[in-house]
Copies of this chain bind each other. A is one copy, B any other.
Amino acid sequence: MLVLDLVATLVFGVSGGLTAVRLRLDVVGVLALATLTGLGGGWIRDVLIGVTPPAGLADWRYLTAPMIGGLVTFFLHPQLDRINATISVVDAFGLGLFSVAGALKAVEHGLGPLPSTLLGLTTGVGGGVLRDIVIGVIPTVLRKGELYAIPAVAGAGVAVLGSRLELTTPVVAAVAASVTTGWRLLALWRGWTAPEPVRAAAAP
C-alpha cells in the first residue's frame, strides 16, 4: 500500500516536473512544482481535517518521492515526452488511489459522507489544481475536454458508501479505486468529456 502510494506520488511529481520544464523554469521550479503536484492534495485535505503536520510533509519518504519524480524529469524530460500515454495511464491509477485513500481518511476522522467524498476528490485532484494555480492557468480539471473529476468523485463516493456499510476496508478500497481508475481510463480511451452548460454562453 505504501509502495503504491509512493509510486503515485512520484508519477504526480513527474507531471508537475514536466509542466515546469515546458514553462522553461529552472531546477527550483521543477522541484517545487513536482512536490506541490505530488503532495498538495493531501496537504489540503490534512489541513482541512486538522491533521497537522500533514503526513505528506512530516514523512521524508513522501517528500522525496515527488522530488525524485521532479529530478527524473529535469534530466530525462525528452524521453518522458515520448511516453506521455504511459504517464496518463499511471496517473489514472494515482487518481484512483489518492481519491479513495483521501475519502477513507476523512471518514476515519469522523466527517460525514458528502464532506468525505469531496475530500477524496480534493486529495485526488488538489495537487494538479495547486500546480495550475501557481503557474496562473485555469486548472486542467475544471476545463472542458477532460473527464477527470467525475471519476474521482465516483470512486470516493463508493469508498464512503462501502465504509458506511461496514464492508472490509481493503475490498472497499480496491473496488472504489477500480471505479475511478477504470472510468478515467475509459474516458481517456473513448474521449469522453463532462456535460457543459445549457446553450452556449456569450463570449467573455
The reply to whether B60 and A115 contact each other, CB–CB distance below 8 Å, is: yes
The reply to whether A134 and B144 contact each other, CB–CB distance below 8 Å, is: no
Residue A158 at the chain B interface, CB threshold 8 Å: no
Residue A90 at the chain B interface, CB threshold 8 Å: no
Smallest CB gap from A195: residue in B: B27
Residues of A18-43 at the interface with B, using a CB-CB cut-off of 8 Å, are 20-30, 32-33, 35, 43
List, in ascending order, chain B residues with CB within 8 A of A89's CB.
none
Q: Given contacts A25-B143, A43-B48, is CB(A197)–CB(B60) below 8 Å?
A: no
Residue A63 at the chain B interface, CB threshold 8 Å: yes
Measured in the bound complex, the distance between the Cα atoms of B35 and A84 in whole Å is 32
The reply to whether B115 and A58 contact each other, CB–CB distance below 8 Å, is: yes
Please tell me which one of the listed residues B32, B47, B133, B193 contacts residue A134 in the complex, with CB atoms under 8 A apart.
Answer: B133
Max count, chain B CB within 10 A of own CB: residue among A28, A43, A64, A194: A28
Cβ distance A22 to chain B, nearest Cβ, rounded Å: 5
Which of A74-82, A92-100, A182-190 is the interface stretch?
A74-82
List the 10 shortest-distance A-B pairs measured between CB atoms, nearest first: A50-B52, A29-B142, A26-B194, A28-B149, A136-B136, A60-B114, A27-B195, A26-B144, A21-B201, A22-B204
Further pairs besides A22-B202, A60-B114, A129-B134: 20, Cβ < 8 Å? A23-B204, A24-B200, A26-B196, A28-B194, A29-B142, A29-B144, A30-B197, A32-B142, A43-B48, A47-B48, A47-B52, A48-B54, A49-B52, A53-B115, A57-B118, A57-B119, A58-B112, A60-B113, A63-B115, A73-B197
